[in-house]
Amino acid sequence: EALAAFERARDSDSMVRLYLDKLNEPQKAFQLVRETPDMPGAERIAEYCRKNGNICGAVEFLLLAKNHEEAYTMAERHDEMETFEQGIGEKGTRDQHMTIAKYYEQRNLLTNAAKHYSLAEEYPMALKLYLKVGEKEIDRAIEVVGKARNDALTHTLIDYLMGDSDNLPKDPNFVYRLHKALGNYMQAAGTALIIAKKDQEEGNYKQAHALLFRTYQDLKRQKLALPQELWRRLMILHSYVIVKRLVKAGDHATAAQMLLRVAKNIHQFPVHIVPILTSVVIECQRAKMTTEAYQYSCMLMRPEYRPQVSEQYKKKIENIVRKPCADAEGAAHDTQSACMYCGGNMDDAQLDCTMCKNISPFCIVTGMRMLRDDWTYCPSCNFPAKRSAFTAALQTSDQCTMCEERIKPGDLPMVTDPSALIADYKSLFQTIEPL
Protein backbone atom coordinates (compact mmCIF):
# COMPACT_ATOMS: atom_id res chain seq x y z
CA GLU A 1 0.00 0.00 0.00
CA ALA A 2 2.79 2.39 0.90
CA LEU A 3 4.52 1.63 -2.43
CA ALA A 4 1.29 2.35 -4.37
CA ALA A 5 0.83 5.62 -2.46
CA PHE A 6 4.40 6.74 -3.18
CA GLU A 7 3.90 5.80 -6.87
CA ARG A 8 0.69 7.90 -7.07
CA ALA A 9 2.54 10.78 -5.45
CA ARG A 10 5.50 10.25 -7.83
CA ASP A 11 7.78 10.14 -4.80
CA SER A 12 10.54 8.08 -6.39
CA ASP A 13 13.01 8.65 -3.54
CA SER A 14 10.61 7.07 -1.05
CA MET A 15 9.96 4.22 -3.48
CA VAL A 16 13.71 3.60 -3.75
CA ARG A 17 14.05 3.61 0.07
CA LEU A 18 11.19 1.12 0.35
CA TYR A 19 12.65 -1.23 -2.30
CA LEU A 20 16.07 -1.15 -0.62
CA ASP A 21 15.25 -1.14 3.09
CA LYS A 22 11.93 -2.93 3.43
CA LEU A 23 11.19 -5.07 0.37
CA ASN A 24 14.75 -6.24 -0.36
CA GLU A 25 14.23 -5.69 -4.09
CA PRO A 26 17.28 -3.60 -5.08
CA GLN A 27 17.01 -4.40 -8.80
CA LYS A 28 13.61 -2.67 -8.90
CA ALA A 29 15.15 0.38 -7.25
CA PHE A 30 18.02 0.33 -9.77
CA GLN A 31 15.62 0.12 -12.72
CA LEU A 32 13.41 2.92 -11.36
CA VAL A 33 16.30 5.38 -11.06
CA ARG A 34 17.77 4.40 -14.42
CA GLU A 35 14.43 5.07 -16.13
CA THR A 36 13.45 8.20 -14.15
CA PRO A 37 16.68 9.81 -12.93
CA ASP A 38 16.28 10.95 -9.35
CA MET A 39 19.35 12.43 -7.67
CA PRO A 40 18.45 11.65 -4.02
CA GLY A 41 17.40 8.14 -5.09
CA ALA A 42 20.65 7.70 -7.02
CA GLU A 43 22.68 8.82 -3.96
CA ARG A 44 20.76 6.35 -1.80
CA ILE A 45 21.43 3.48 -4.25
CA ALA A 46 25.13 4.43 -4.55
CA GLU A 47 25.49 4.20 -0.76
CA TYR A 48 23.60 0.87 -0.75
CA CYS A 49 25.94 -0.52 -3.44
CA ARG A 50 29.04 0.71 -1.62
CA LYS A 51 27.98 -1.00 1.62
CA ASN A 52 27.30 -4.23 -0.25
CA GLY A 53 30.61 -4.21 -2.14
CA ASN A 54 29.01 -3.47 -5.52
CA ILE A 55 31.60 -0.92 -6.67
CA CYS A 56 30.40 -1.02 -10.29
CA GLY A 57 26.86 -0.09 -9.17
CA ALA A 58 28.18 2.59 -6.80
CA VAL A 59 30.10 4.29 -9.63
CA GLU A 60 27.09 4.11 -11.96
CA PHE A 61 24.68 5.69 -9.47
CA LEU A 62 27.14 8.30 -8.23
CA LEU A 63 27.29 9.49 -11.84
CA LEU A 64 23.48 9.54 -12.05
CA ALA A 65 23.56 11.62 -8.84
CA LYS A 66 25.92 14.04 -10.64
CA ASN A 67 28.63 13.28 -8.10
CA HIS A 68 31.31 12.89 -10.77
CA GLU A 69 34.34 13.55 -8.58
CA GLU A 70 33.51 10.86 -6.03
CA ALA A 71 32.54 8.46 -8.86
CA TYR A 72 35.94 8.97 -10.52
CA THR A 73 37.82 8.53 -7.22
CA MET A 74 36.01 5.27 -6.56
CA ALA A 75 36.51 4.02 -10.13
CA GLU A 76 40.23 4.81 -9.97
CA ARG A 77 40.70 3.21 -6.55
CA HIS A 78 38.89 0.00 -7.49
CA ASP A 79 39.86 -0.27 -11.19
CA GLU A 80 36.29 0.32 -12.37
CA MET A 81 37.19 2.99 -14.94
CA GLU A 82 35.24 1.17 -17.65
CA THR A 83 32.04 1.73 -15.65
CA PHE A 84 32.91 5.42 -15.24
CA GLU A 85 33.56 5.66 -19.00
CA GLN A 86 30.23 4.09 -19.87
CA GLY A 87 28.47 6.40 -17.46
CA ILE A 88 29.73 9.62 -19.01
CA GLY A 89 29.83 8.29 -22.60
CA GLU A 90 31.17 10.82 -25.10
CA LYS A 91 29.36 13.69 -23.40
CA GLY A 92 31.86 14.12 -20.59
CA THR A 93 33.76 17.37 -20.09
CA ARG A 94 37.22 17.91 -21.53
CA ASP A 95 38.73 17.60 -18.03
CA GLN A 96 36.97 14.28 -17.45
CA HIS A 97 38.25 12.81 -20.70
CA MET A 98 41.77 14.10 -19.99
CA THR A 99 41.70 12.51 -16.53
CA ILE A 100 40.55 9.18 -17.96
CA ALA A 101 43.16 9.37 -20.74
CA LYS A 102 45.97 9.86 -18.22
CA TYR A 103 44.64 7.02 -16.05
CA TYR A 104 44.84 4.62 -19.01
CA GLU A 105 48.17 5.96 -20.24
CA GLN A 106 49.75 5.37 -16.83
CA ARG A 107 48.61 1.74 -17.08
CA ASN A 108 49.92 1.44 -20.65
CA LEU A 109 46.40 0.93 -22.04
CA LEU A 110 47.25 3.13 -25.00
CA THR A 111 44.19 2.51 -27.19
CA ASN A 112 41.85 3.52 -24.35
CA ALA A 113 44.02 6.54 -23.53
CA ALA A 114 44.10 7.67 -27.17
CA LYS A 115 40.30 7.44 -27.40
CA HIS A 116 39.87 9.87 -24.50
CA TYR A 117 42.63 12.22 -25.67
CA SER A 118 40.67 12.42 -28.92
CA LEU A 119 37.41 13.12 -27.07
CA ALA A 120 39.26 15.86 -25.16
CA GLU A 121 40.37 17.22 -28.58
CA GLU A 122 44.01 16.55 -27.72
CA TYR A 123 44.52 15.20 -31.23
CA PRO A 124 48.36 15.20 -31.36
CA MET A 125 48.52 13.00 -28.26
CA ALA A 126 45.71 10.74 -29.52
CA LEU A 127 47.50 10.23 -32.86
CA LYS A 128 50.85 9.59 -31.17
CA LEU A 129 49.37 6.82 -29.02
CA TYR A 130 47.37 5.20 -31.82
CA LEU A 131 50.51 5.04 -33.98
CA LYS A 132 52.45 3.65 -31.04
CA VAL A 133 49.93 0.80 -30.81
CA GLY A 134 50.53 0.10 -34.50
CA GLU A 135 48.68 -1.08 -37.58
CA LYS A 136 45.59 -2.43 -35.82
CA GLU A 137 44.66 1.11 -34.74
CA ILE A 138 45.34 2.91 -38.04
CA ASP A 139 41.63 3.34 -38.76
CA ARG A 140 41.22 5.22 -35.47
CA ALA A 141 44.32 7.28 -36.23
CA ILE A 142 42.71 8.22 -39.56
CA GLU A 143 39.53 9.20 -37.71
CA VAL A 144 41.55 11.48 -35.40
CA VAL A 145 43.30 13.21 -38.31
CA GLY A 146 39.96 13.59 -40.08
CA LYS A 147 38.55 15.39 -37.02
CA ALA A 148 41.66 17.50 -36.41
CA ARG A 149 42.07 18.85 -39.96
CA ASN A 150 45.62 19.78 -39.04
CA ASP A 151 48.34 19.74 -41.73
CA ALA A 152 51.10 18.69 -39.33
CA LEU A 153 49.08 15.70 -38.07
CA THR A 154 48.10 14.75 -41.62
CA HIS A 155 51.76 14.71 -42.68
CA THR A 156 52.71 12.70 -39.59
CA LEU A 157 50.17 10.02 -40.47
CA ILE A 158 51.08 10.01 -44.18
CA ASP A 159 54.77 9.60 -43.30
CA TYR A 160 53.81 6.63 -41.09
CA LEU A 161 51.66 5.06 -43.82
CA MET A 162 54.40 5.50 -46.40
CA GLY A 163 56.89 3.79 -44.08
CA ASP A 164 59.10 6.85 -43.56
CA SER A 165 59.29 6.20 -39.81
CA ASP A 166 59.90 2.43 -39.85
CA ASN A 167 60.71 1.56 -43.49
CA LEU A 168 57.52 -0.55 -43.63
CA PRO A 169 54.99 0.92 -46.09
CA LYS A 170 51.42 0.14 -44.98
CA ASP A 171 48.46 -1.14 -46.99
CA PRO A 172 47.45 1.56 -49.57
CA ASN A 173 43.84 1.10 -48.42
CA PHE A 174 44.76 3.15 -45.35
CA VAL A 175 45.91 6.07 -47.54
CA TYR A 176 42.62 5.80 -49.44
CA ARG A 177 40.63 5.95 -46.18
CA LEU A 178 42.69 8.89 -44.93
CA HIS A 179 41.96 10.95 -48.04
CA LYS A 180 38.27 10.14 -47.69
CA ALA A 181 38.28 11.13 -44.00
CA LEU A 182 39.85 14.46 -44.97
CA GLY A 183 37.35 14.98 -47.79
CA ASN A 184 40.16 14.79 -50.38
CA TYR A 185 38.05 12.79 -52.82
CA MET A 186 40.25 13.31 -55.89
CA GLN A 187 43.34 12.09 -54.01
CA ALA A 188 41.25 9.18 -52.68
CA ALA A 189 40.28 8.35 -56.26
CA GLY A 190 43.94 8.30 -57.31
CA THR A 191 44.78 5.92 -54.48
CA ALA A 192 41.72 3.77 -55.27
CA LEU A 193 43.01 3.39 -58.82
CA ILE A 194 46.39 2.14 -57.56
CA ILE A 195 44.69 -0.38 -55.25
CA ALA A 196 42.21 -1.51 -57.92
CA LYS A 197 45.00 -2.03 -60.47
CA LYS A 198 46.84 -4.26 -58.01
CA ASP A 199 43.65 -6.20 -57.19
CA GLN A 200 42.92 -6.62 -60.88
CA GLU A 201 46.45 -7.77 -61.67
CA GLU A 202 46.06 -10.42 -58.96
CA GLY A 203 42.71 -11.58 -60.35
CA ASN A 204 40.58 -10.05 -57.56
CA TYR A 205 38.08 -8.59 -60.02
CA LYS A 206 35.09 -8.38 -57.67
CA GLN A 207 37.17 -6.53 -55.07
CA ALA A 208 38.51 -4.07 -57.66
CA HIS A 209 35.01 -3.55 -59.09
CA ALA A 210 33.55 -2.80 -55.63
CA LEU A 211 36.30 -0.26 -54.81
CA LEU A 212 35.99 1.59 -58.13
CA PHE A 213 32.19 1.61 -57.79
CA ARG A 214 32.40 3.17 -54.30
CA THR A 215 34.90 5.75 -55.51
CA TYR A 216 32.71 6.62 -58.50
CA GLN A 217 29.75 7.13 -56.14
CA ASP A 218 31.83 9.35 -53.83
CA LEU A 219 32.93 11.60 -56.69
CA LYS A 220 29.43 11.81 -58.13
CA ARG A 221 27.95 12.76 -54.73
CA GLN A 222 30.57 15.50 -54.41
CA LYS A 223 29.86 16.64 -58.01
CA LEU A 224 33.53 16.26 -58.89
CA ALA A 225 34.91 15.47 -62.34
CA LEU A 226 35.46 11.77 -62.89
CA PRO A 227 39.02 10.67 -63.80
CA GLN A 228 38.74 8.87 -67.11
CA GLU A 229 40.98 5.98 -66.09
CA LEU A 230 38.77 5.24 -63.11
CA TRP A 231 35.61 5.22 -65.23
CA ARG A 232 37.24 3.10 -67.97
CA ARG A 233 38.51 0.52 -65.51
CA LEU A 234 35.11 0.27 -63.87
CA MET A 235 33.43 -0.03 -67.27
CA ILE A 236 35.83 -2.76 -68.46
CA LEU A 237 35.59 -4.69 -65.18
CA HIS A 238 31.80 -4.44 -65.26
CA SER A 239 31.77 -5.66 -68.86
CA TYR A 240 33.66 -8.73 -67.65
CA VAL A 241 31.58 -9.47 -64.55
CA ILE A 242 28.25 -9.41 -66.42
CA VAL A 243 29.35 -11.93 -69.07
CA LYS A 244 28.33 -14.97 -66.99
CA ARG A 245 24.77 -13.62 -66.62
CA LEU A 246 24.53 -12.82 -70.32
CA VAL A 247 25.68 -16.33 -71.28
CA LYS A 248 23.24 -17.88 -68.80
CA ALA A 249 20.44 -15.79 -70.35
CA GLY A 250 21.43 -17.08 -73.81
CA ASP A 251 22.45 -13.61 -75.06
CA HIS A 252 25.64 -14.78 -76.76
CA ALA A 253 25.85 -11.79 -79.11
CA THR A 254 26.02 -9.31 -76.20
CA ALA A 255 28.32 -11.61 -74.21
CA ALA A 256 30.66 -11.70 -77.22
CA GLN A 257 30.63 -7.89 -77.47
CA MET A 258 31.52 -7.55 -73.77
CA LEU A 259 34.32 -10.10 -74.06
CA LEU A 260 35.69 -8.33 -77.14
CA ARG A 261 35.75 -5.10 -75.10
CA VAL A 262 37.69 -6.93 -72.39
CA ALA A 263 40.02 -8.56 -74.93
CA LYS A 264 41.03 -5.13 -76.26
CA ASN A 265 42.20 -4.39 -72.72
CA ILE A 266 43.53 -7.87 -71.92
CA HIS A 267 46.68 -6.42 -70.30
CA GLN A 268 44.43 -5.48 -67.36
CA PHE A 269 43.75 -9.20 -66.71
CA PRO A 270 47.29 -10.69 -66.70
CA VAL A 271 46.54 -13.79 -64.61
CA HIS A 272 43.61 -14.91 -66.78
CA ILE A 273 44.65 -13.95 -70.31
CA VAL A 274 44.24 -17.43 -71.81
CA PRO A 275 40.89 -18.32 -70.14
CA ILE A 276 39.43 -14.94 -71.16
CA LEU A 277 40.61 -15.18 -74.76
CA THR A 278 39.26 -18.72 -74.89
CA SER A 279 35.87 -17.40 -73.76
CA VAL A 280 36.07 -14.73 -76.48
CA VAL A 281 36.52 -17.42 -79.14
CA ILE A 282 33.69 -19.59 -77.76
CA GLU A 283 31.17 -16.76 -77.48
CA CYS A 284 32.09 -15.28 -80.87
CA GLN A 285 31.55 -18.72 -82.40
CA ARG A 286 28.17 -19.00 -80.72
CA ALA A 287 27.24 -15.53 -81.99
CA LYS A 288 28.48 -16.53 -85.49
CA MET A 289 31.12 -13.78 -85.37
CA THR A 290 33.69 -15.97 -87.13
CA THR A 291 36.09 -13.15 -88.06
CA GLU A 292 36.62 -12.24 -84.40
CA ALA A 293 36.71 -15.92 -83.40
CA TYR A 294 39.49 -16.47 -85.95
CA GLN A 295 41.43 -13.39 -84.81
CA TYR A 296 41.57 -14.48 -81.15
CA SER A 297 42.11 -18.14 -82.02
CA CYS A 298 45.28 -17.07 -83.83
CA MET A 299 46.33 -15.11 -80.74
CA LEU A 300 45.82 -18.18 -78.54
CA MET A 301 48.03 -20.27 -80.83
CA ARG A 302 51.01 -18.03 -80.14
CA PRO A 303 53.86 -19.89 -78.39
CA GLU A 304 53.42 -17.98 -75.10
CA TYR A 305 49.71 -18.88 -74.85
CA ARG A 306 49.30 -22.22 -76.63
CA PRO A 307 50.56 -24.48 -73.79
CA GLN A 308 48.03 -22.88 -71.41
CA VAL A 309 44.95 -23.48 -73.59
CA SER A 310 42.61 -26.03 -72.03
CA GLU A 311 42.67 -29.44 -73.76
CA GLN A 312 38.88 -29.21 -73.86
CA TYR A 313 39.04 -26.35 -76.38
CA LYS A 314 42.50 -26.69 -77.98
CA LYS A 315 41.43 -28.87 -80.93
CA LYS A 316 38.46 -26.63 -81.71
CA ILE A 317 40.64 -23.51 -81.68
CA GLU A 318 43.26 -25.20 -83.88
CA ASN A 319 40.53 -26.05 -86.42
CA ILE A 320 39.33 -22.42 -86.48
CA VAL A 321 42.88 -21.29 -87.26
CA ARG A 322 43.33 -23.94 -89.98
CA LYS A 323 39.98 -23.31 -91.65
CA PRO A 324 39.04 -19.66 -91.41
CA CYS A 325 35.68 -18.72 -92.91
CA ALA A 326 33.64 -15.60 -93.46
CA ASP A 327 30.88 -14.60 -91.04
CA ALA A 328 27.93 -16.90 -91.48
CA GLU A 329 24.47 -15.76 -92.39
CA GLY A 330 22.72 -14.44 -89.29
CA ALA A 331 26.00 -13.35 -87.68
CA ALA A 332 25.68 -10.83 -84.86
CA HIS A 333 27.16 -7.84 -86.69
CA ASP A 334 27.28 -4.55 -84.81
CA THR A 335 24.00 -2.66 -84.96
CA GLN A 336 24.10 1.09 -84.93
CA SER A 337 22.10 3.88 -83.31
CA ALA A 338 22.40 7.64 -82.80
CA CYS A 339 24.82 9.21 -80.31
CA MET A 340 22.73 10.70 -77.50
CA TYR A 341 24.78 13.91 -77.68
CA CYS A 342 25.30 14.74 -81.35
CA GLY A 343 22.99 12.32 -83.19
CA GLY A 344 25.76 10.73 -85.24
CA ASN A 345 25.51 6.98 -85.91
CA MET A 346 27.81 4.63 -83.99
CA ASP A 347 27.95 0.94 -83.02
CA ASP A 348 25.74 0.05 -80.05
CA ALA A 349 28.71 -1.41 -78.16
CA GLN A 350 30.75 1.78 -78.68
CA LEU A 351 30.71 4.35 -75.85
CA ASP A 352 33.07 7.02 -77.22
CA CYS A 353 31.70 9.17 -80.03
CA THR A 354 34.38 9.87 -82.64
CA MET A 355 32.46 12.92 -83.86
CA CYS A 356 31.59 14.91 -80.72
CA LYS A 357 34.20 13.21 -78.47
CA ASN A 358 31.66 12.67 -75.68
CA ILE A 359 31.28 9.46 -73.70
CA SER A 360 27.90 7.79 -73.38
CA PRO A 361 26.91 5.93 -70.20
CA PHE A 362 26.57 2.16 -70.48
CA CYS A 363 23.70 -0.10 -69.49
CA ILE A 364 24.64 -1.99 -66.31
CA VAL A 365 22.69 -5.07 -67.47
CA THR A 366 23.99 -5.44 -71.03
CA GLY A 367 27.11 -3.24 -71.03
CA MET A 368 25.86 -1.67 -74.28
CA ARG A 369 25.44 2.06 -74.85
CA MET A 370 22.35 3.64 -73.29
CA LEU A 371 19.58 4.77 -75.62
CA ARG A 372 17.28 7.74 -75.06
CA ASP A 373 14.07 5.78 -75.64
CA ASP A 374 14.79 2.82 -73.33
CA TRP A 375 15.95 4.32 -70.05
CA THR A 376 15.71 3.48 -66.37
CA TYR A 377 18.17 3.27 -63.51
CA CYS A 378 18.83 1.30 -60.35
CA PRO A 379 16.89 2.98 -57.52
CA SER A 380 19.73 2.09 -55.14
CA CYS A 381 22.94 3.14 -56.96
CA ASN A 382 21.37 5.28 -59.75
CA PHE A 383 23.46 3.63 -62.47
CA PRO A 384 21.53 3.62 -65.77
CA ALA A 385 20.14 0.59 -67.55
CA LYS A 386 17.94 -0.15 -70.52
CA ARG A 387 14.50 -0.59 -69.02
CA SER A 388 13.68 -3.54 -71.25
CA ALA A 389 16.93 -5.33 -70.30
CA PHE A 390 16.67 -4.60 -66.56
CA THR A 391 13.05 -5.76 -66.42
CA ALA A 392 13.97 -9.01 -68.19
CA ALA A 393 17.02 -9.58 -65.95
CA LEU A 394 14.93 -9.18 -62.79
CA GLN A 395 12.88 -12.20 -63.83
CA THR A 396 15.85 -14.45 -63.02
CA SER A 397 17.82 -12.42 -60.44
CA ASP A 398 16.64 -9.67 -58.10
CA GLN A 399 20.10 -8.12 -57.67
CA CYS A 400 21.45 -5.01 -59.38
CA THR A 401 24.50 -6.03 -61.42
CA MET A 402 26.39 -2.94 -60.24
CA CYS A 403 25.66 -2.45 -56.52
CA GLU A 404 24.17 -5.93 -55.82
CA GLU A 405 21.23 -4.48 -53.89
CA ARG A 406 17.93 -6.32 -54.20
CA ILE A 407 15.50 -4.66 -56.62
CA LYS A 408 11.86 -5.37 -57.49
CA PRO A 409 10.66 -4.79 -61.09
CA GLY A 410 8.05 -2.34 -59.79
CA ASP A 411 10.83 -0.21 -58.24
CA LEU A 412 12.39 0.64 -61.60
CA PRO A 413 11.77 4.33 -62.39
CA MET A 414 9.99 5.18 -65.64
CA VAL A 415 12.11 7.74 -67.49
CA THR A 416 10.28 9.21 -70.48
CA ASP A 417 12.73 12.06 -71.05
CA PRO A 418 16.33 11.37 -69.93
CA SER A 419 17.64 14.77 -71.13
CA ALA A 420 18.48 15.98 -67.62
CA LEU A 421 20.26 12.70 -66.80
CA ILE A 422 22.21 12.85 -70.07
CA ALA A 423 23.28 16.40 -69.25
CA ASP A 424 24.53 15.19 -65.85
CA TYR A 425 26.65 12.50 -67.51
CA LYS A 426 28.05 15.00 -69.99
CA SER A 427 29.21 17.23 -67.12
CA LEU A 428 30.59 14.25 -65.20
CA PHE A 429 32.72 12.88 -68.03
CA GLN A 430 35.65 14.76 -69.51
CA THR A 431 36.40 14.84 -73.23
CA ILE A 432 38.79 12.03 -74.11
CA GLU A 433 40.28 10.22 -77.06
CA PRO A 434 38.27 7.27 -78.49
CA LEU A 435 39.15 3.76 -77.35
pLDDT in tens, 237-251: 999 999 999 999 999
Nearest alpha carbon to residue 103 among 128, 132, 74, 130 = 74
| pLDDT beyond 90 at 425 | no
Phi, then psi, of 359 in degrees rounded to 5: -105, 135
Read off the pLDDT of each residue in 257-262 and give the average, rounded to a whole number: 97
Nearest alpha carbon to residue 401 among 420, 380, 417 = 380
| pLDDT beyond 50 at 8 | no
Q: What angle do CA 395, 398, 402 make, to 5 degrees?
A: 120
The whole-angstrom separation of Cα 360 and Cα 84 is: 58
R_g of the chain computed on alpha carbons: 32
Q: Residues 422, 341: contact at Cβ < 8 Å?
A: yes
The whole-angstrom separation of Cα 56 and Cα 81 is: 9
pLDDT for position 415 = 95
The whole-angstrom separation of Cα 432 and Cα 435 is: 9
Instruction: Give the number of other Cβ atoms within 10 Å of residue 194's Cβ.
Output: 12
Instruction: Give the number of other Cβ atoms within 10 Å of residue 176's Cβ.
Output: 24
Which residue pairs, CB below 8 angstroms and at least 24 apart, start in 57-64? Answer: 57/30, 59/83, 59/84, 59/87, 60/86, 60/87, 61/30, 61/33, 63/87, 63/88, 64/33, 64/34, 64/37, 64/39
pLDDT for position 333 = 59
DSSP characters for 37-87?
Answer: --HHHHHHHHHHHHHTT-HHHHHHHHHHTT-HHHHHHHHHHTT-HHHHHHH
Global confidence as pTM = 0.78
pLDDT in tens, 19-45: 787 677 888 888 888 877 778 888 888
More confident residue, 314 or 34: 314
| Percent of the chain residues topping a pLDDT of 90 | 72
